C-alpha cells in the first residue's frame, strides 16, 4: 500500500479547510507546511496572520491524521538559535502541535545558492529538535545533494527526486514502489519520497507530492514513536542480541532466543525487507550497525550473521 502526502508553503497560497478537505478526499494522508527559515518567519501573510497557521489548522480540521511543520536550515546562525526560533513560531501559530499525536517535524536540508548547508549542520539541527520536542524528526535531504553524508543522522530520511516535470494528478505521477527515489543512501532507504513538484492536488497545479510505502498503521508507528524510538531499539538490541546469538542453540542446532522470543526471526525479517528494498524503521548508531551487518549477507546464514552483528556491536561499545 502507498500513502500520499503534500508539503506546502506560502508559494501555494492560502490553504483553507475546504482545500485540505478536498485533498484528503483525493487521497492525501499526510501534510506539512513551512514554518520558518533560519530565524525568519517567511510565512507571514500581507493581510496579517501566517500561511502555516491557517493551512495546518485547516488540515487538522479536515481530518488529516499526520501533520508537520518544516524548517529550512541555514548555515548561520547556530542550530540552537534556529531551533529556538522554529519552536517559538510553532508555539505562537499552532500551539496545539504539542498535544497532537500525529505531529512530526520536517528538516529541509539543501544546498542553496550561496549557502550549501552542510550535512553536519542539518544533523545537529535535527538531533537538537528531536531532543527538545520529543517528536519524530524526518530529514528532507536528497540523495543527489547529500549522498552518504547523512550516515550519522540516526533518523528517517526524506528523498527528493523528480522523474517527470509534467503537470498531472499526484497519483498518476507516482512512479511506483520500485521507483528511483527509493534507492538507498546514507545507509538506509528513505521513508518518504518527494517525487514531483508539478502535481495537481485539490485543483492546485504546482504542488510537491510525496509517497510513503506502507499503510496507515506503519506511518502511525513511525510518527508516534517520538524521539526515543531509535535509542530504545538500540537498547533492546544490546540487551538481547548477545544472548540470542552466542552459543544458544536448540537440540537441532538452531539459534534460539531465551530472553525475547522471536529476536532471531526479527533479524531475518529485517534482512528480508532490506533485500526487497522495503524501508526499515531503525535508527541510532547501534541499530545502524546491525543493519550494516545484515546487509553484508546476501543469504540468510544465521551463524555468519550472528558473528557479524556481534562484531559490529562490540566495535560500537568499544569506541
Last residue of a domain, one of 201, 224, 247: 224
* pLDDT at residue 272 greater than cutoff 90: no
Length of the chain counted residue by residue: 319
Region 153-158: what's the mean pLDDT?
88
> Do 23 and 61 have their domain in common?
yes
> Do 240 and 157 have their domain in common?
no
In whole angstroms, give the CA distance from residue 294 to residue 309.
7
Burial, 116: exposed, middle or buried (Cβ in 10 Å; 0-12, 13-18, 19+)? exposed
> Do 279 and 302 have their domain in common?
yes
Bond into 95 cis (ω within 30): no
Last residue of a domain, one of 224, 252, 279: 224
- List the one residue out of 87, 10, 3 whose CA is nearest residue 42: 10
* pLDDT at residue 99 greater than cutoff 90: yes
> Do 176 and 270 have their domain in common?
no
Rounded to the nearest 10 degrees, the angle between the axes of helix 119-133 and helix 79-93 is 50
> Do 220 and 233 have their domain in common?
no
Q: pTM, whole model, 2 decimals?
A: 0.74
Q: Determine the structural domain holding residue 81 and report its residue range.
A: 2-224
Tell me how many domains the chain contains.
2
* pLDDT at residue 259 greater than cutoff 50: no
> Do 141 and 286 have their domain in common?
no
Region 172-177: what's the mean pLDDT?
95
Residue 256: the pLDDT is: 52
Residue 292: the pLDDT is: 62
* pLDDT at residue 52 greater than cutoff 60: yes
Query: At 124, which CATH number?
Result: 3.20.20.80
> Do 168 and 263 have their domain in common?
no
pLDDT digits (tens, 9 = 90+) for 282-295: 444 455 556 566 66
Rounded-to-10 torsion of CA 85, 88, 93, 96: 130
> Do 194 and 302 have their domain in common?
no
In whole angstroms, give the CA distance from residue 312 to residue 286.
8
> Do 160 and 249 have their domain in common?
no
Last residue of a domain, one of 224, 255, 280: 224
Amino acid at each position: 500500500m502507498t500513502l500520499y502526502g503534500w508539503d506546502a508553503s506560502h508559494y501555494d497560497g492560502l490553504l483553507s479547510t475546504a482545500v485540505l478537505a478536498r485533498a484528503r478526499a483525493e487521497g492525501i494522508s499526510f501534510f506539512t507546511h513551512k514554518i520558518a527559515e533560519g530565524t525568519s518567519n517567511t510565512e507571514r501573510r500581507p493581510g496579517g496572520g501566517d500561511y502555516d497557521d491557517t493551512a495546518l489548522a485547516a488540515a487538522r480540521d479536515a481530518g488529516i491524521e499526520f501533520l508537520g511543520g518544516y524548517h529550512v536550515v541555514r548555515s548561520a546562525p547556530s542550530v540552537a538559535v534556529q531551533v529556538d526560533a522554529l519552536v517559538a513560531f510553532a508555539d505562537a501559530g499552532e500551539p496545539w502541535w504539542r498535544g497532537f499525536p500525529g505531529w512530526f517535524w520536517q528538516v529541509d536540508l539543501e544546498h542553496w545558492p550561496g549557502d550549501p548547508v552542510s550535512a553536519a549542520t542539518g544533523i545537529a539541527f535535527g538531533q537538537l529538535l528531536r531532543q527538545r520536542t520529543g517528536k519524530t524528526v524526518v530529514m528532507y535531504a536528497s540523495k543527489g545533494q547529500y549522498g552518504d553524508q547523512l550516515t550519522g543522522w540516526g533518523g528517517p530520511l526524506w528523498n527528493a527526486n523528480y522523474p517527470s516535470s509534467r503537470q498531472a494528478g499526484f497519483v498518476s505521477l507516482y512512479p511506483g514502489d520500485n521507483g528511483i527515489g527509493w534507492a538507498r543512501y546514507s545507509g538506509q532507504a528513505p521513508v518518504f519520497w518527494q517525487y514531483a513538484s508539478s502535481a495537481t492536488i485539490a485543483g492546485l497545479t504546482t504542488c510537491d507530492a510525496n509517497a510513503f510505502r506502507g499503510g496507515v498503521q506503519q506511518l502511525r508507528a513511525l510518527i508516534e514513536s517520538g524521539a526515543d524510538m531509535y535509542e530504545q531499539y538500540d537498547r533492546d538490541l544490546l540487551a538481547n542480541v548477545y544472548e540470542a546469538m552466542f552459543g544458544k542453540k536448540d537440540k537441532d542446532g538452531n539459534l534460539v532466543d531465551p530472553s525475547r522470543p522471536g529476536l532471531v526471526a526479527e533479524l531475518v525479517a529485517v534482512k528480508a525487507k532490506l533485500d526487497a528494498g522495503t524501508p526499515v524503521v531503525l535508527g541510532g548508531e547501534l541499530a545502524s550497525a546491525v543493519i550494516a551487518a545484515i546487509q553484508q549477507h546476501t543469504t540468510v546464514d544465521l551463524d555468519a550473521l550472528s558473528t557479524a552483528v556481534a562484531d559490529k556491536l562490540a566495535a560500537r561499545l568499544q569506541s
